[in-house]
Amino acid sequence: MARTNGRIPGVEARAGRSPGPSLIRSLNAIQREHGWLPREQLVRLARDTRRPLYELEGLISFYPHFRTTPPAKIEITVCRDLSCWLHGGDERIARIHELYGDDAEIEVREVSCIGRCDRPPAATVNERPAVVSELNDVVREARAPGGAHAGGLRTGQAASCAAAPARRHWPNDPYPEGADASHYGVVRAMLAGSLRPADTIELVEHSGLRGMGAALGTLKESGLRGMGGAGFPTAAKWELVATQEGEPKYVICNADESEPGTFKDRQILAEQPHLVIEGMLIAMLTIGAEQGWLFVRHEYGPEEEAFRAELAGARAQAILGENVLGSGRRLEIDVFTSPGGYILGEESALLECMEGHRGEPRNKPPFPATYGLWGKPTLMNSVETLAAIPVILERGGQWWRDQGVRGGVGLKFLAVSGQIANPGVYCVPMGTTARELIELAGGVADGAELQAFQPGGASSNFLGPEQLDVPLDFKPLADAGSMLGSGALVVIAEGTNLLAAATNVLRFFRDESCGKCVPCRTGSHKAHQILTELLERGGGAGDVDQRIDQLEETMRLTSICGLGQVALGPVMSVLRMQRTGTAAAP
Ligand X SMILES: Cc1cc2nc3c(=O)[nH]c(=O)nc-3n(C[C@H](O)[C@H](O)[C@H](O)COP(=O)(O)O)c2cc1C
The footprint of ligand X (CB under 6 A) covers 226-230, 232, 237, 254, 256-258, 343, 345-347, 380-382, 385, 561-563
* Dihedral sign for Cα atoms in the order 294, 295, 296, 298: positive
Q: Which does 122 bind (CB under 5 to 8 A by kind): ligand SF4, ligand X, ligand FES, none?
A: ligand FES
CB 120 within 8 Å of CB 89: yes
Task: Decide which of ligand SF4, ligand FES, ligand X, none touches 380; Cβ closer than 5 to 8 Å per partner kind.
Answer: ligand X
Nearer CB in complex with ligand FES: 132/388: 132
Nearer residue to ligand FES within complex by CB, 82 or 560:
82
Please, are residues 445 and 493 in contact by the beta-carbon 8 Å criterion?
yes
Kindly state the smallest distance separating residue 534's Cβ from ligand FES, in Å.
Answer: 23
How open is the CA angle 197-203-208, to the nearest 5 degrees? 150
Q: At closest approach, how far in Å is the CB of 382 from ligand X?
A: 3
Determine the 3-state secondary structure of 233 from DSSP.
Answer: strand
Residue 83, contacted partner among ligand FES, ligand X, ligand SF4, none, CB below 5-8 A by kind: ligand FES
Amino acid at 28: N
* Residue 513 interacting entry, from ligand SF4, ligand X, ligand FES, none, C-beta within 5 to 8 Å by type: ligand SF4
Which DSSP symbol is given to 230? T
User: Residue 36 binds which entry of ligand FES, ligand SF4, ligand X, none, with Cβ cut-offs from 5 to 8 Å by kind?
Assistant: none
Binding range to ligand SF4, per CB under 6 A, among 389-397, 417-425, 553-561, 578-586 = 553-561
Residue 31, contacted partner among ligand X, ligand FES, ligand SF4, none, CB below 5-8 A by kind: none
Q: Which of ligand SF4, ligand FES, ligand X, none has residue 229 at its interface (CB below 5 to 8 Å by kind)?
A: ligand X
Least distance (Å) from ligand SF4 to the CB of residue 297? Answer: 16
Q: Please, are residues 267 and 425 in contact by the beta-carbon 8 Å criterion? A: yes
Least spacing, CB of residue 368 vs ligand X, in Å: 8
Task: Report the first-to-last Cα separation within the chain, whole angstroms.
Answer: 33
521 binds ligand SF4 (CB under 6 A): yes
Which string of x and - marks every residue 334-363 that binds ligand SF4 (by CB under 6 A)? Answer: ---------x----------------xx--
- What does each C-alpha distance from 69 to 77, 329, 338 come to in angstroms? 16, 46, 20
* C-alpha to C-alpha distance for 267 and 491, rounded to whole angstroms: 20
Closest CB to ligand X among residues 254, 433: 254
458 in contact with ligand SF4 (CB under 6 A) = no
C-beta of 346: minimal distance to ligand SF4 in Å? 7
Q: Which of 283, 333, 560, 577 binds ligand SF4 (CB under 6 A)?
A: 560
Check residue 257 and report its DSSP letter.
-
Question: How distant is the alpha carbon of residue 282 from its chain centre?
Answer: 21
Q: Which does 30 bind (CB under 5 to 8 A by kind): ligand SF4, ligand X, ligand FES, none?
A: none
Assess contact for 43 and 53: CB atoms under 8 A: yes
Cα–Cα distance for residue pair 23/528, rounded to 1 Å: 35
Using CB under 6 A, list all residues that contact ligand FES.
79, 81-84, 113-117, 120, 122, 260-261
Of the candidates 11, 93, 275, 514, which one interacts with ligand SF4 according to CB under 6 A?
Answer: 514
- In the chain, the amino acid numbered 553 is E
Binding status of residue 527 toward ligand SF4 by CB under 6 A: no
By beta-carbon proximity to ligand X, the closer residue of 301 and 464 is: 301
Q: Which does 230 bind (CB under 5 to 8 A by kind): ligand SF4, ligand FES, ligand X, none?
A: ligand X
* 364: contact with ligand SF4 by CB under 6 A: no
Query: Which stretch in 324-332, 333-341, 438-446, 507-515 sits in contact with ligand SF4 by CB under 6 A?
Result: 507-515
Structure letter (DSSP) for residue 486: T
Q: Measured between alpha carbons, how far is residue 131 from residues 148, 216, 362, 571 in Å?
A: 15, 44, 37, 29
Selection from ligand FES, ligand SF4, ligand X, none that 559 binds (CB < 5 to 8 A by kind) is ligand SF4
The edge-to-edge listing of strands for the beta sheet with 106-111 is 106-111, 74-79, 122-125, 128-131
Segment interacting with ligand SF4 (CB under 6 A) among 350-358, 368-376, 540-548, 556-564: 556-564
Separation between Cα atoms, residue 68 and residue 61, nearest integer Å: 9
SS3 132: helix
| Residue 114 binding target from ligand SF4, ligand X, ligand FES, none, CB below 5 to 8 Å by type | ligand FES
H helix intervals, 127-167: 135-143
Is residue 581 classed exposed, middle or buried when 0-12, 13-18 and 19+ CB atoms within 10 A define those classes? Answer: exposed
Shortest Cβ 418–ligand FES spacing (Å): 9
Q: Of 217 and 564, which CB lies nearer to ligand SF4 in the complex structure?
A: 564
Bin 295: left if φ > 0, else alpha if -120 < ψ < 50, else beta.
Answer: beta
Q: What share of the chain is helix, strand, coil (3-state, %, to 5)?
A: 45, 15, 40
Of the two residues 260 and 404, which places its CB atom closer to ligand FES in the complex? Answer: 260
Q: Under a CB-based contact definition with an 8 Å cutoff, are residues 101 and 110 in contact? A: no
Q: How far is the CB of 380 from ligand FES (least distance, A)?
A: 23
By CB under 6 A, residue 515 contacts ligand SF4: yes
Residue nearest to ligand SF4 (CB): 564
513 binds ligand SF4 (CB under 6 A): yes
428: left (phi over 0), alpha (psi -120 to 50) or beta: beta
Smaller CB distance to ligand SF4: residue 10 or 429? 10
Q: Nearest to residue 42, comparing CAs of 56, 32, 22, 55?
A: 56
Shortest Cβ distance from residue 459 to ligand SF4 (Å)?
12
Residue number, 348 or 381, with CB nearest to ligand SF4? 348
DSSP string, 409-470: -SEEEEEEEESBSS-EEEEEETT-BHHHHHHHTTSBGGGPPEEEEESSSTTSPPB-GGGTTS
Interaction partner, residue 514 (ligand X, ligand FES, ligand SF4, none; CB < 5-8 Å by kind): ligand SF4
Q: How far apart are CA 484 and CA 229, in angstroms?
A: 7
Residues of this chain that interact with ligand SF4 (CB under 6 A) are 343, 360-361, 513-517, 520-521, 559-561, 563-564
